[in-house]
Amino acid sequence: MIKYNSKEFPKDFLWGGAVTATQTEGNWDVDGKGVTPPDLIAYEEGKTQNDLMSTEEIKAAIEDKENYYPRRYAIDFYHTYPQDIALLKELGIKSFRTSINWGRLFPNGDEEQPNEKGLEFYDNLIDELIKNEIEPVITISHFEMPVNLSTKYKGWYSREVIDFYMRYCEVLFKHFKGRVKYWVPFDEMNLIHRESFSQFGMPSDLVENNLENKLIALHHKLLASSLATKLAHDIDKKNKVAAMILTNYAYPASSSPEDVLAAQRNNQFENYYLDVLVRGKYPGTMLRLIEEQGFNIGYQSEDDAIFENGKADFISVSYYGNRTVSAESIKNWPNPAIDNPHVKKNAFDWLEDPIGLRYTLNKIYDQYQLPIFLMELGTGIHDKVEDGKVHDHNRIKFFEENLQQLKQTIYDGVPIMGCLTWGPIDIVSNASAQMSKRYGFIYVDIDDHGKGTGKRIKKDSFEWFQNVIKTNGKDIKI
């Protein structure tokens, strides 16, 4: 008997929001927390982090008293979480993703035992979510490796760091057993086109910032992710562990076969992470690249079994648009993107491409046939407060267009577990350390220099999204 696809969001759809520890909590040196890379990025107007730091620069940033480091203070979620969760509950969210800051639990990363004060904070936070019937989704590492693991061990370049990460994971899986079910071992495994220090913790004077070294670090992170997946399953078979990527799929710049092949090549490279974490194997295109370049990524004989035994339960993606590539630009992989005149950009030059969301989710499901959890969806906006209100109709339009495409995707037959909007409450931007690049339904009165009352204001989009959740997206038209 044929059973047609649903035209509606599933009944148990996880509507929600996502943030990170370092973009919200602040209190960077409180209760024994160790320093982590995001604590070291100062705000500089108009500057996007270049993400290379030497050991000297790390030391200088830790001691710097002149500049403003937004993530050291963020929105003070460390203290305001009960009120903020109450607001999110009023918004109606069913699920909240945040990260646990590795540096709060293991300030230096290589201790034998966790810092009790750090555990206590996350106990309280997770209990508060559960009390409000909000499903916690936990990212184990979202750029928060203790900086001591960088300066002493060269970050993920060192295979030894896997053991420290596993010690941390074991504490989490045992301590939060029965309270947390959804785990994301690492945020956006595939950011190698951009990042070296925040993703890999490799100081630029200790490890040269080149593709071979990044692939070595990535190999170690992929192993850690697979080992964590297996451990999560061993400790509690109810645990569900994600393979997470930022979608970097490509459109061809033209219909020429050369450009189409280039887009396919980009997509095969981007699938490298999912191939390893979902299928348990390095894909052919990556093996060819490694061989042709003469790289040695430190692959050991036991690694086959680690990947085979630690396959992810679902795929999680963050979506901020797709790349466009040509036969020429693909030569610059992992940074081959060129402009696409058919796709809009926001005020911060980031893409806004709702149809691309449908394309991406279909593409992933066609290939991997696993449920997909959309864990970041949003666009940065310069909001203005007028008479105590924020009329953010552009945000409503953005979500309306994207949720229409998400509903289309569900009607295409793709199993989507949930949709977490990025930064449902305003938080510090990752790339530019700005507060004025806002994503939230809730405004936070803090500016780029850390000035402001910290007051929370519900934007116009708050009520709109509240209604979307309440009606389970019934009014989203397709």
Pick the closer one to ligand BG6 by CB: 150 or 430.
Answer: 430
Looking at residue 95, the DSSP 8-state letter turns out to be E
* Binding to ligand BG6 in span 338-377, by CB under 6 A: 376
Active site residue 376: yes
Q: How many residues interact with ligand BG6 (rule CB under 6 A)?
A: 14
Nearest to 108 by CA among 35, 58, 212: 35
Residue nearest to ligand BG6 (CB): 431
Minimal distance, residue 187 CB to ligand BG6, in Å: 5
Residue linked to tokens 């070294």:
213
Say whether residue 426 binds ligand BG6 (CB under 6 A).
no
Query: Is the separation of the CB atoms in 459 and 445 below 8 Å?
Result: no
Catalytic residue among 25, 128, 135, 188: 188
Say whether residue 422 binds ligand BG6 (CB under 6 A).
yes
Give the amino acid at 64.
Answer: D
Say whether residue 430 binds ligand BG6 (CB under 6 A).
yes
Catalytic residue among 128, 135, 270, 376: 376
Question: Cα angle vertex 345, ends 252, 209, to 5°?
Answer: 70
Applying CB under 6 A, among 437, 438, 440, 459 the residue interacting with ligand BG6 is: 437
Segment contacting ligand BG6 by CB under 6 A, of 8-16, 73-81, 431-439, 442-450: 431-439
- Sequence-ordered alpha helix ranges (H) in 47-115: 55-63, 77-91, 102-105
Pick the closer one to ligand BG6 by CB: 325 or 428.
Answer: 428
Minimal distance, residue 246 CB to ligand BG6, in Å: 5
Pairing status of strand 95-99 against strand 135-139: parallel
Minimal distance, residue 467 CB to ligand BG6, in Å: 25
Query: Is the separation of the CB atoms in 22 and 105 below 8 Å?
Result: no
Segment contacting ligand BG6 by CB under 6 A, of 123-131, 388-396, 411-419, 427-435: 427-435
Give the amino acid at 226.
Answer: S
Say whether residue 198 binds ligand BG6 (CB under 6 A).
no
Give the amino acid at 301.
Answer: S
Minimal distance, residue 75 CB to ligand BG6, in Å: 13
Q: Please report which helix (H) or strand (E) contains residue 315, including its range.
A: strand 314-319
**For the window 242-271, what string marks contact with ligand BG6 as x by the rule CB under 6 A?**
----x-------------------------
Active site residue 401: no
- Sequence-ordered alpha helix ranges (H) in 275-392: 284-293, 303-309, 354-368
Beta-ladder partners of 183: 138, 241
Pick the closer one to ligand BG6 by CB: 36 or 408.
Answer: 36
Applying CB under 6 A, among 9, 13, 20, 403 the residue interacting with ligand BG6 is: 20
Say whether residue 194 binds ligand BG6 (CB under 6 A).
no
Say whether residue 380 binds ligand BG6 (CB under 6 A).
yes
Say whether residue 164 binds ligand BG6 (CB under 6 A).
no
Say whether residue 318 binds ligand BG6 (CB under 6 A).
yes
Minimal distance, residue 77 CB to ligand BG6, in Å: 14
Q: How many residues in the chain?
A: 478
Say whether residue 383 binds ligand BG6 (CB under 6 A).
no
How far CA 365 is from CA of 11, 185, 217, 278, 314, in Å, comes to: 20, 21, 28, 12, 10
**Strand extents, DSSP E, 112-261:** 135-139, 182-184, 240-246, 250-252
Pick the closer one to ligand BG6 by CB: 253 or 337.
Answer: 337
Pick the closer one to ligand BG6 by CB: 370 or 435.
Answer: 435
- 3-state SS of 407-434 is HHHHHCCCCEEEEEEECCECCCCCCCCC
State the chain's maximal CA–CA distance in angstroms: 70
Say whether residue 187 binds ligand BG6 (CB under 6 A).
yes
Query: Is the separation of the CB atoms in 227 and 174 below 8 Å?
Result: no
Segment contacting ligand BG6 by CB under 6 A, of 87-95, 292-300, 407-415, 423-431: 423-431
Distance of CA 71 to the CA centre of its chain: 16
Say whether residue 98 binds ligand BG6 (CB under 6 A).
no
Q: Please report which helix (H) or strand (E) contains residue 393, including its range.
A: helix 393-411
Contact residues for ligand BG6, defined by CB under 6 A: 20, 23, 187-188, 246, 318, 376, 380, 422, 429-432, 437
Catalytic positions are 188, 376
